[in-house]
Structure 1
Amino acid sequence: MKVNGTPLSSGEGKRSAAAGPDPEVSAKATRRRFTAAYKLSIVEQADACETPGEMGELLRREGLYSSHLSSWRKAAREGSLRGLAKKRGPRPSSGKREARKVRKLERENARLREELRKARIVIEVQGKSIGAAGVEPRGREELLSAAEGLAGHVGVRAACAALGVAHATFYRRRRPKTGQRQPRPAPARALSEAEHGEVFEVLCSPRFADRAPAEVYATLLDEGVYLCSERTMYRILAGNKAVRERRAQRSHPNHPKPEVVARAPNEVWSWDITRLLGPEKWRYFYLYVILDIFSRYAVGWMVAERETAGLAGRLIEESCLKHGVQPRVLTLHSDRGSPMTGKCTAQLLADLGITQSLSRPRISNDNPYSEAQFKTVKYHPGFPGRFGGIEEAKDFCRDFFMWYNAGHRHGGIGLLTPEQVHFGRAPAVIEHRQEVLAAAYAARPDRFVAGPPRAAELAAEVWINRPIPVSVVDGAEAAAQGSGADGKEGSLN
């Protein structure tokens, strides 16, 4: 067999009887259709069933439901099979359905009218309380009074949001404290009002206006001047509302690192999509691949002309059916591409009972197994680089994935083939290899200076982002602390 002109070694591309289902999934779904003759034959076979369970066996064998049989029997009784040729389409509308639609629209209309009324009240109060352009906004107490009056019309949450008042402040004003707070006495070492003004004037001077308090503090010390500490400078600036972030920076959420482990086949699958160059520039074909990370077996693949969540859902669903994946067993890992994070993909995984795992944004090594598999595809000697059509790309992938699953000795799984690991034949192969190595050692032990050779073993578990043990983290932190203040080296307990 050849992969696009490149010969494969004998036996590597042949599919064995126990190789499992074909991983290819067609990008175009076909609807199952029944002819009138087929329906009549099923009705006749069902009428001929006599023993219990025989009819159920017929329905399971043909992939039918009892509702099919009931409708077909009714159509057969009509004589001319008018029911079998019934056209598909929406049901005729009824008066009850139209009445329900009218009531629903009336409720929606009433809701929108109420929201419009509240919005008008909010806009009117905002215009009076906050002020128009060029008008000085009102004070805090006036805003709280306006929020108190507005809350009776639109609710507390909407009133506070419209006027920019905190909920806690609003409720605190409703329940004022009875006791009178004593003013906090100023400590004797505190700076005087004149010293506060002097420090603030220095910080706002043209010389230091663009510098941080730490730089101002150090510069003045070099010149032999000490005004106050760096922290006091920050307090003085904060008291005059002169502290804020001046750099235009974006804040990113802290995405947790995905930690996924597989200890057997069909526990964790990884999938991704890569582009294959088409016959001309800017035209691509898209290769979808689902990989079992424990065995590196390609459980499903698809070549399509588009990259959509619908095609990805079809690939995932058919691959699960082919391999008999049970609910709440499989974890599906991927990056954060649009087909992976689409709503229909998330709903499909929830319906199938599959746990979804996503990589962190802009982190390339959170999906390592799919990325490495795509490198194997594109660095293969038979990879053409550019395909003349989608059928040529499919022909290449059929030969390649047959070789990859059945003939490729993978370095990450002890130089076994993915098919051997996925279908449980790895222990027998490792045992056979060990027997060959033992025979070679018995014949010439002097050639093995490190002792009897051992065949490569299969890893017990495969991780995506293996967590760091706590002991290692503690040891690294203790080592980073270095020596103590007295000059003695730190010790680990």
Structure 2
Amino acid sequence: MISSPDRDEAMQLIDEAVQEGASRRRACEELGLSVRTVQRWRLSPQDGRPLAVRDAPRNRLDEAQRQAVLEAANRPEYASLTPHQIVPKLADEGIYLGSESTFYRVLKAAGQAQRRGRAKAPQQRTLTTHCATGPNQVWCWDITWMPSTVRGRYFYWYMMKDIYSRKLVMNEVWEEESAEHASVLLTKGCLREGLAGGPLVLHSDNGSAMKGATMRATMVDLGVQSSFNRPRVSNDNAFAESLFRTAKYCALWPEKPFATLDDARQWVQRFVQWYNEKHCHSALKYVTPGQRHRGEAAQLLSRRRALYESVRMQNPERWSGGIRNWDLTGPVYLNPERAQAPAQMYKPAA
């Protein structure tokens, strides 16, 4: 419904356009109005709809009928049921009081439209987001299955990754998923990186190994802050998911399943060595995760930049613009789809 001030402003703009030589029809179209609407506004400047007295619908329930609906919905045996279940049950008793929509309208008018039964209302969980400005501030981890030669049997690759440098900091393969294995992996990783007692955020999904009592106790002992995905949203752990995709589609992945646990462990060791020290990562301006983790990326990219500048000066006719951008982005955010949000929405790593 358009207010009276907006009507007056629209008609004034149309009159100004007509005085400047525009047709009234085109002026109305620019405002998304029809000529008939503007004519009606001129005849009746005040909108009478808000003050109009309308007759009640002839099929409206009277007070006794509305009370019967409420009494039926509040019967002890129906107290935890929705109208979609109440109406058929009443029909089985030979009673019809109204449709499901009628029940919902009456319950809403009576302030009883909340969820029925013990079920809690769905909660909108905020996105877990952290910011890493250097290595060993935010890690993510996950577990993936590695097929074996026995159908239905898998080996489980436990992987922890630094989101800033993309380095695979800890990796192990076991025959089962357990919080005990995860706690051992985390302890080794903190000792290897010299983080025992230091600030670290560890992000994962909501698996049993991630939320097990042993793992949670180990995180408390090591001073590691836990961070978890929203339920059923695997994209919240995108760094880990993309790593497993890279692993299982790279040339190193074997064509046949792994025969033994040792075979799986040896393959993971080879992959980690390749990924950390030889894989030129596209998100890191094609330096390796190991170089980024050790702080060598800036010097390497500086040499690349100097080379490009030198070649451009020697052959300027081959360059239509500036040289390639070799600047690495500074902070890395967990869940980068929120990177355009205000800075206060991010939680810097402690």
Distance 1:269 1:407 in 2: 21
Q: 2:139 touches 2:161 (CA, 8 Å); kept in 1? A: yes
Q: Give the superposition deviation at 1:454.
A: 3.2
- Which deviates further from its counterpart, 319-328 or 343-352? 319-328
Pair 1:423 & 2:294 matched:
yes
Equivalences for residues 296-335 of structure 1 within 5 A: 296-335=166-205
State the partner residue of 2:341: 469
Q: Give the superposition deviation at 1:289.
A: 0.8
Equivalences for residues 263-282 of structure 1 within 5 A: 263-282=133-152
Of residues 87, 91, 101 in structure 2, which corresponds to 1:212? 101
Q: Which amino acid aligns with 1:342?
A: G
Q: Which amino acid aligns with 1:469?
A: A
Cα 1:353/1:247, change in 2 over 3 Å:
closer
Q: Give the alignment's TM-score, normalised by structure 1.
A: 0.48
Cα 1:243/1:356, change in 2 over 3 Å:
closer
Deviations 1:171-215 (A, max 9, x none): xxxxxxxxxxxxxxxxxxxxxxx9522655799997761232499
Cα 1:322/1:202, change in 2 over 3 Å:
closer
Deviations 1:54-90 (A, max 9, x none): xxxxxxxxxxxxxxxxxxxxxxxxxxxxxxxxxxxxx
Q: Which amino acid aligns with 2:265?
A: K
Q: Give the superposition deviation at 1:257.
A: 1.7
Q: Which amino acid aligns with 2:139?
A: W
Cα 1:394/1:209, change in 2 over 3 Å:
same
Of residues 225, 249, 253 in structure 2, which corresponds to 1:355? 225
Distance 1:328 1:321 in 2: 11
Distance 1:374 1:347 in 2: 27
Distance 2:341 2:172 in 1: 39
State the partner residue of 2:235: 365
Q: 1:264 touches 1:461 (CA, 8 Å); kept in 2? A: yes
Equivalences for residues 86-485 of structure 1 within 5 A: 196-197=63-64, 200=67, 209-213=98-102, 233-234=106-107, 238=110, 251-385=121-255, 386-450=257-321, 452-465=322-335, 466=338, 469=341
Q: 1:259 touches 1:467 (CA, 8 Å); kept in 2? A: no
Cα 1:201/1:269, change in 2 over 3 Å:
closer
Q: Tell which structure's C-alpha radius of gyration is larger.
A: 1
Distance 2:250 2:175 in 1: 22
User: 3-state SS of the aligned residue for 2:190?
Assistant: helix
Distance 2:327 2:115 in 1: 56
User: 3-state SS of the aligned residue for 1:285?
Assistant: strand
Q: Give the superposition deviation at 1:433.
A: 0.3
Q: 1:415 touches 1:456 (CA, 8 Å); kept in 2? A: no
Q: Which amino acid aligns with 1:416?
A: V
Q: Which amino acid aligns with 1:211?
A: E
Q: Give the superposition deviation at 1:470.
A: 5.2
Q: Give the alignment's TM-score, normalised by structure 2.
A: 0.66
Q: Give the superposition deviation at 1:462.
A: 0.7
Q: Which amino acid aligns with 1:314?
A: V
Q: 1:433 touches 1:455 (CA, 8 Å); kept in 2? A: no
Q: 1:328 touches 1:355 (CA, 8 Å); kept in 2? A: no
User: 3-state SS of the aligned residue for 1:454?
Assistant: coil
Q: Give the superposition deviation at 1:254.
A: 3.6
- Which deviates further from its counterpart, 432-441 or 457-466? 457-466
Q: Which amino acid aligns with 1:434?
A: R
State the partner residue of 1:168: none
Q: 1:437 touches 1:455 (CA, 8 Å); kept in 2? A: no
User: 3-state SS of the aligned residue for 1:212?
Assistant: helix
Aligned length: 259
Equivalences for residues 64-83 of structure 1 within 5 A: none
Q: 2:65 touches 2:97 (CA, 8 Å); kept in 1? A: no
Cα 1:470/1:265, change in 2 over 3 Å:
closer
